[in-house]
Amino acid sequence: MSLFSRFRKAPSASAPEQPPEMPMPPMSKASTPTGPDPALLAAQEEQALQAALAGNDHAAVARLVIEGSSTKIRQQAAEAVEDPEQIRELIRIARGGKDNSVYKILTRKRDVLLAHERELEQQQAEIAAAAAALEKHSHRAFDPLFTPTLEQFESRWQAVAAHAAPDVVRKTQESIDRAREVIAQHLRHIAAEAARELAASNAAAVAQKQREQDEQTAATAAAERAQVREDERKAKADKHEAEAHALRQIGGLLRKAQAALASGSSKSASGLRRAIEEKLAVAPPLPAQLTKQLHQLDEKLQELKDWKSFSVAPKRADLIERMEALVGATMHPTALAGEIKSLQEQWRTLSKGAGEDVEADWQRFHTAAEQAYLPCREFFAGQDRIKQENLQQRSALFDRLAAFESRQNWEQPEWRTVITALREAKQLWREHSPVDVDAAKELQGKFNELTGSLQTRLDAEYSSNVKEKKMLIERARKLSESSDTRQAIDEVKRLQETWKTVGPVPREDDNKLWEAFRQQCDALFQKRQQEFSSHNEALQASKAQAVGLCEQVEQIAGLVDRELLEGAKQLPELRDTFEAIEELPRADARQLHSRFERAFDRCQRAVSEQHARDAEQGWLGLLDAANQVRAYRLAVVRQADAAELDTLKQAAEASLTTGPKRGLDVLKKAFANAGDGDLVANESALRTLCIRAEILTDSPTPASDQTLRREYQVQRLMKSMGQGVKADDGPEALALEWLAVGPTEEATYLQLLERFKVSRSKRAERR
């Protein structure tokens, strides 16, 4: 279909009737004084332009771009043209004209359209590449880089998905879904393996715990039975030993008392006699010998008592004076009480030694002691109040601790709170002292029982947590031996989170357990680091291979002629080798792929350009051969002699050996039709072909042919608007027409041939 056939408005039943087109004055003639008024003409053209725009009459708009009477109308019409083919055709017509503003408007609109087309081409190429990458990736087996690679490809696809065709979107989404299913299958496999390992571990732990409980129960029962038997045996042995010991002690005391009497120490002897009396209360019946010795001791002590009753009076008087001296003393109550007690002990010693107490001396001594003890009594009363207050504080502390225990949910206790409460309760209990030992005895027992109960619960929790942490250490150790390091790292991270949730353990065990667990985790992380290093080395090797392939393709792209075509044969193998590289460093992958594709595209363009150059050389050879044919045909027209004709014919036949087949066929046909002798028509045809080639390549036309060029352009425009057809002005079509034209004069032909070749060379350069 002709490019300007779009200018003709297709008939439509629904389209409103358009007003008749205003006749345009010829471009080559200026308005005469008797012509229409310029202002009126401009108004009419303005109305015609608006009507054409309202009715989508592209042909009318195009005529106004070329033939509008004012620059304003031509510019408005140029701005209204949107069809790319119309814009290109109008640029060819407007080039070299006087209205540069219209030419600039059209070229600007053409450049915008070309940029948009290039952008669309790049976009479609990126869509195809992203979809192909996802399709290829969806058929890969899962590996550690499967997921990040999918995310990278998805991001690339999402950037262009909005511009993709629906079938491409559907197929690409299927690829994404297929890849995600690969990931889901892998995750399900991991979850199943983890569940089996956890179930086996839990079952083993439960069985081990049950065995330990059974062993502990049996051991406890056996120990209790053994303890009962041991207690009974020990009780009997202790009883026999106590009785034997008591008799030995009594015998020893008797010997000491007798020795004291022998040395004259009646006081020591009396004390020893009292000690013997205390031992008799728990001793078995005395043997006859010990009974006799005890009787003899008592007789001697009685004799001494009678004698000493006359000698202790001065000592009593001294004790009374010393006691009276303590009345009102400024000593500390504790020291004062000790001194009073010491004097009382001495008084009792005198009384026990021998003789009878004198009542008057005793009363005087006792009264002085009572008066001297008054400050001590007040002091110790204050101490009793303090002990009572401490006892009350301990009682309140016990109540709070008991309430704390009762409020705890022992199914899910807050062990940190229990530890704090137990530690602080013991500390406060020690701070609330002193207390009366007898009064606090029962409360102390309850407190010990309560803290013991809490400590027992805490110890059980400690034991459970220690076992759990040991299990985590063992699982971490097994993970450090796993072949799937990535999965093991994820699992050990979960173990680390689980470690944080495990309850408290004894302080002395906590650091040891954590150190053991950390060592296993560090071993796994070090293993991952080593694998990363190996993986990075492999990536660097792949990168080096990819760089080498890029350099090979770039080297081929720099070749020319036969070397280029020979090197291009390696391109499929090089692409297969590049695509076979499974993985590249993430930071370099996109750049290397882009570099390879750019080099590959350069090679393809270079090959295409080389083929185009080779083809152009073939056409240029045919044009040179056409000159040989022209010379022969011209000689035939002029009826040259037979020898000249034969020579020219042989030269023409010799030139018809190589070249593009279509052109060679046309030239052979022209050679066979040697009788076409209209030299003027042939020259006109060749000159028109030169103009068409110059229009096609935007080349200037000599001044002598400028009028012919404008007439040709207007005729072609009017013809395309009237008939909806367009001449084929491609380089090959023009060359075929040139080869078919009849003979012309050599000088004119060579001049026109040079113009025709120059236009073809410009066309080749633009490619």
Q: Is residue 382 part of a domain?
A: no
Q: What is the residue whose two structure tokens read 């020990």?
A: 234
Q: How many domains does the chain have?
A: 2
Of 37 and 123, more confident: 123
Is-contact 531 495, C-beta < 8 A?
A: no
For 375-404, write each residue's pLDDT tens digit. 887 787 877 788 888 888 889 988 988 888
Token duo for residue 165: 């065709």
Q: At residue 358, what are phi and psi to the nearest 5 degrees?
A: -90, 120
Which residues have C-beta within 8 Å of that of residue 122, sequence separation ≥ 6? none
Q: At residue 742, what are phi and psi to the nearest 5 degrees?
A: -70, -175
Q: What is the residue whose two structure tokens read 């207690």?
A: 231
For the cut 60, the answer to whether the pLDDT of residue 683 exceeds it is yes
Residue at which a domain ends, from 95, 126, 157 = 126
For the cut 50, the answer to whether the pLDDT of residue 277 exceeds it is yes
For 130, how many CA atoms within 13 A lie in the half-sphere containing its CB? 25
Q: Is residue 743 part of a domain?
A: yes
Q: Is residue 670 part of a domain?
A: yes
pLDDT at residue 91, as a whole number:
83
First CA to last CA distance, the chain: 24
Is-contact 137 149, C-beta < 8 A?
A: yes
Lowest mean pLDDT among 139-153, 519-533, 679-693: 519-533
Residue at which a domain ends, from 63, 91, 126 = 126
Burial 565-588 (b: 16+ CB within 10 A, else e): eebbeebeebeeebeebeebeeeb
Lowest mean pLDDT among 11-20, 462-471, 487-496: 11-20
Q: Is residue 538 part of a domain?
A: no
Q: Is residue 496 part of a domain?
A: no
Per-residue three-class SS string for 308-326? HCCCCHHHHHHHHHHHHHC
Q: Is residue 758 part of a domain?
A: yes
Count of residues making up the chain = 767
For 278-336, write each residue's pLDDT tens digit. 777 777 888 888 788 877 878 777 666 655 555 566 777 888 888 878 887 788 888 88
CB atoms < 10 A from the CB of 44, how many? 16
Does this model's pTM top 0.75? My answer is no
pLDDT at residue 622, as a whole number:
84
Residue at which a domain ends, from 126, 157, 191 = 126
Q: Is residue 367 part of a domain?
A: no
Residue 672 lies in domain: 609-766
Full DSSP string of 334-399? HHHHHHHHHHHHHHHHHHHHSS---HHHHHHHHHHHHHHHHHHHHHHHHHHHHHHHHHHHHHHHHH
pLDDT at residue 163, as a whole number:
87
Q: Is residue 390 part of a domain?
A: no
Q: Which among 610, 585, 597 is positioned nearest to 549, based on CA atoms? A: 597
In sign, the C-alpha dihedral spanning 33, 38, 40, 42 is: positive
pLDDT at residue 18, as a whole number:
38
